[in-house]
Structure 1
Amino acid sequence: MNKLKSHFTFTKQQRNGIFLLVLLIVIVQVSYVFIDLPSETVSFNEDVYDTYTKEIDSLRQVEIAMRQPKLFPFNPNYITDYKGAALGMSNEEIDRLLVFRKQDQWINSAKQFQEITKVSDSLLGAISPYFKFPDWVTNPRARNIINESYGNKSKTYAQKLDLNLATVQQLQKVNGVGEVLSDRIVKFRNKFVGGFIADVQLEDVYGLSPEVIERITNHFTVKTPRKVEKINLNSATVTQLVTVQHIDYDLASEIIEMRTLRDGFQSLDELKKVKDFPVNKLEIIKLYLSLEN
């Protein structure tokens, strides 16, 4: 009991210390409640603030504008489902255009585009400045010359012009081949010394649809084919096969593996069974291959 009592027994000095501590706590609490300390004033210029806000908003608008997809000139006759959706066309409007084009008909003006697709005036106003039609559409005189020169009827072999000698101007006379496509055909042909091997190589020219290729071959054909030393498919190495267009190292390895399993190929068409073989390019690949046992 004496031990317990000793913990609560304070000397006079200790009691004075406790009293001063309590007094200080009370003084601090009273000061916090009743004394109004001066606050630091912050100057605010509303005009400067508005100026900064406008600058930030303008920079934000520039950033948003830069993120928007940019439109480049295009021929509306070749609008796909994806392209039409990106332009803001509805599915019905795109379908009307595709049905019209399947009839082998062509849109030759912004007004006709609206008549066929039924797009709104606002959408037409937004996208029509980017419409780019071939020269024979925008230049009536050139159109008359073209119509007189090349019709839609296919010519005989003797009447056709040599595709390896055709000029840009001659190619532009074909319906659907404008300045860009004709220039692209000639540049692609000239990448090879001697030009095209066969008409089928037109399929490798970017932007040529099957319909346009058909029109071209109605009036042009390869009469002076480039000479090619064909590779024997049943003895070719990987190094030899990769020199063929559309065959890379992986595909060459797959071809040789298939050849080993089949104990040689009996037909070039058997290449279709090779894993990841580009079937749509088979006719072009055939131009470089032979088959010998």
Structure 2
Amino acid sequence: MIEELKERLLENKTLATVLGTVFVMLLGFFVWSNVTRPKAEAQSELPALSTTFSASTTASFSKEKAASSQVASGRIFVDIKGAVKNEGVYELSNGSRVTDLVKKAGGFTEDADKKSVNLAEKLVDEAVVYVAKVGENVAQVTTPSQANNGIDQDTSSDQINLNTATLEQLQTISGIGAKRAQDIIDYRESNGGFSSIDDLKNVSGIGEKTLEKLKAEVTVD
């Protein structure tokens, strides 16, 4: 009886040991699978994230490059005056030439002196083009790229004619800046020109002292 009881206890102990071992193995496998699975999933997602980031970076770079290219090939604004059908400021693409501006202005008038302009000349932003009339004593159209500071080389040492000078030419007169030069042009257009140098006193900002300094540099002939 006692021997039989010992054998049963021994069998139960062995069974318990086996079951315990199996349980520990199952628990270890469960823990191991839960630890390694997130790592594997994270690694598998890395290429996709990398591809997405690369595509986004490339698209952003392309947009910046396109914007930079658009700025480089931007627009310019040029003022045309004189013997054209429609005087005014016109917007053109960068690299346009005087001939493009004349077309924008409706073409020459019948009394235009076509020799007074260089139709092949390239234009730059803020340039002023003056088309002379036949018989008008005006040098060839000036643009900033044609001569230093927009002055014709053959007239740079002569007196500036108040009745025909461009905005750039007027700014070469001592003490005359962009605003004062524009005031002179506005007065000239409003009053049909200057009849004498003394008429400069009628331009805002020019008094007796300034006039005396300018007389040696300007003319109305």
**Fold agreement, TM-score > 0.5:** no
Q: Which category describes the TM-score, using the shorter chain as reference length?
A: under 0.3
Larger % of strand: which? 2
Larger Cα-atom Rg: 2
Larger % of helix: which? 1
